[in-house]
Amino acid sequence: MIRWLSAAIDGQDRGRLEEAFRWLYTFVKPQTKAIIGLMLLSVVASALVLLQPWLTKLLIDEGLLAKDYGMLVSMAITMIFVGIFSTGLSGINRYLHTRLSGRILFALREHLYEHLQTLSPQFYGSRRIGDILSRLDGDVSQIQRFAVDSMFSALSSVLGLAGALALLITLSWELSLLVLVLIPLEVLWLRWMRRKVERQTRIIRERSADLSSFLVETLPAMKFIQAVSQEKRESSKLHNLSNHYLTDLLKLQVTEFFTQAVPGTLTSLTRATAFLIGGYWVIEGQWQLGSLIAFSTYLGMATGPVQSLLGLYVAIQRMSVSLDRVMDLRRAEADIAPPETPATLADNMRGEIEFDRVSFAYPERAHILNQASVVLPAGGTIAVTGPSGVGKSTVIDLLMRYYDPQQGRILIDGINLKQLAPMELRKRVALVSQDITLFRGSLMENIRYAAPSATDAEVLAAAQQAQLTELIDALPMGLETPLGERGSQLSGGQKQRVAIARAILQHPVILILDEATSAVDEATEAEVIANVNRVFAGKMRILISHRASTLSGVDLRIELKEGQLVADNPELEVE
């Protein structure tokens, strides 16, 4: 099946597609029971649809034309019951169908989201969030629509086609020959059109990603756009993007129209021809009227499925575009591999860190660390210095295992970070950086974010230790006050304190302040640092800053210079 599907699609690498379909199948497989149930329902529904014209034929030929009242009444009653039964069945069918297709859709999206959670900042730095969004949203729905809707439409088409053809031949094999001419013509036409559809669909998916990216990028930056009075420019960008989208959408519409219209017209022609020949036979008395009417209905029923089967052929093409876009996210690999048998950190770990001949460079960039070795003793305050852009944040990213070094080892209490699951490591290290992530929700929920099991009393205590008391008193609902989107109601210094309160609740062994106090004035900074020193006394604190004042009074100073981590005062041993 997977082979067959990938063979049906042009313009893409077969191996890639097979891999993609195999992946897709892992989401369909758990639903096998539901699928079989729905298939059985489809068989019954198709049989019922096929029954209706036959009943009409019986009604006309055996009832009306034969003037048989008993037949007339029994046919009418049968029709009523078949009708009610079909309606009930289609209701059940639709419900089960939505449930099945929803399950597949959500499983797909959740799986992708979990995969995205393993990817590094490097991935997010190089992708447009709007593009990822459109893949997770539009493309995933497109795949689900194909995986479920098309599958059943294919099944009922095959059943409908087979049934209708059998009945057509029963009614008149000579007239049935018309269908044999019609089908190959339609197949040829659609084969010719599908590549065009594929190309235009890809363009549309990309246009839609452009639009979401634009909105995702500009909406959060509205304050800046207003500050530099560029509202008009952004509006006209949106206008251009919309125009491009619309133009391409209309092109696709036209292509799809012709894709459908030509087979549609061919079908009408065939039907008219059948009426002409069959009508002649009826007038000549060689055929019954009911048979002609039933024949024409079955002809419609036979060509409908042919068209939907061929439409499916085009739909596969369209879906393969989305599948490829989604697989592109799936294929993005995490920068770090989780260890096969992860090591654990002792509860009473000390937190000594050693860089052992560590080299690291971003792809196609100069080395940030080049065979750097240094030991950060447990329990002290350590400053990492160096000019902006030299790679201090990257060193922290290495410590938090967002990336692994290309060479050398980073050890914590003698354990290579590569042997630790990122979660095991990160719950022991609290990072307070310059941009603090706040979520919509109350101040309480935000402080509790990294330690969801903390009690209200613990949150309050942490908030007090982080000197948030004044803020809490000033807020209308205290800790329960909602912070608004991204904590827009808080000042830089207040956000900093929220981050520190978070770190306190996390009970880390190592606290890292990455330019954390650069947004506040020196007096506040001194206060924050004194506070941190008090709260985190005895724990390792790593401070990153350019400000000399931040760095005074530390136990050890490490300068990042020419790829080396140089201890400024190595003779100082901190215990």
**Residue 223 touches ligand ADP, criterion: CB under 6 A:** no
Stretch that binds ligand ADP, among 15-23, 66-74, 118-126, 323-331 (CB under 6 A): 118-126
Locus of tokens 């959740």: 110
Select from 160, 391, 487, 563 the one that contacts ligand ADP (CB under 6 A).
391
**Residue 394 touches ligand ADP, criterion: CB under 6 A:** yes
Helix axes 151-171, 32-58, angle to 10 degrees: 30
**Residue 393 touches ligand ADP, criterion: CB under 6 A:** yes
**Residue 517 touches ligand ADP, criterion: CB under 6 A:** no
- Closer residue to ligand ADP (CB): 27 or 360: 360
**Residue 370 touches ligand ADP, criterion: CB under 6 A:** no
Q: Please say whether the beta carbons of 158 and 305 come within 8 A.
A: yes
Q: From its phi and psi, is residue 2 left (phi > 0), alpha (psi between -120 and 50) or beta? A: alpha
- Closer residue to ligand ADP (CB): 373 or 433: 433
- Closer residue to ligand ADP (CB): 93 or 393: 393
Select from 224, 257, 362, 439 the one that contacts ligand ADP (CB under 6 A).
362
| Beta carbon of residue 119, minimum distance to ligand ADP (angstroms, whole number) | 12
Select from 389, 414, 452, 476 the one that contacts ligand ADP (CB under 6 A).
389
Q: Which of 42, 263, 273 is nearest to 177 (CA)?
A: 273
Locus of tokens 């990309």: 206
The contacts found for 473-476 with CB under 8 angstroms, 24 or more apart, are 475/443
DSSP code per residue over 471-497: HHHHSTTGGG-B--GGGTTS-HHHHHH
| Beta carbon of residue 565, minimum distance to ligand ADP (angstroms, whole number) | 12
**Residue 153 touches ligand ADP, criterion: CB under 6 A:** no
Token reading at 39: 């298939």
* 3-state SS class at 222: helix
**Residue 359 touches ligand ADP, criterion: CB under 6 A:** no
* Binding-residue total with ligand ADP (CB under 6 A): 14
Stretch that binds ligand ADP, among 53-61, 212-220, 263-271, 361-369 (CB under 6 A): 361-369
Q: Which amino acid is at 311?
A: G
CA 405 distance to own-chain centroid: 29
Token reading at 499: 């981050």
Dist. CA 555–CA 382, nearest whole Å:
6
Token reading at 338: 């989780």
- Closer residue to ligand ADP (CB): 36 or 129: 129
* 3-state SS class at 558: strand
- Closer residue to ligand ADP (CB): 125 or 184: 125
Q: Which amino acid is at 554?
A: V
**Residue 365 touches ligand ADP, criterion: CB under 6 A:** yes
Select from 82, 241, 289, 390 the one that contacts ligand ADP (CB under 6 A).
390
Enumerate binding residues for ligand ADP (CB under 6 A).
121-122, 125, 362, 365, 368, 386, 388-394
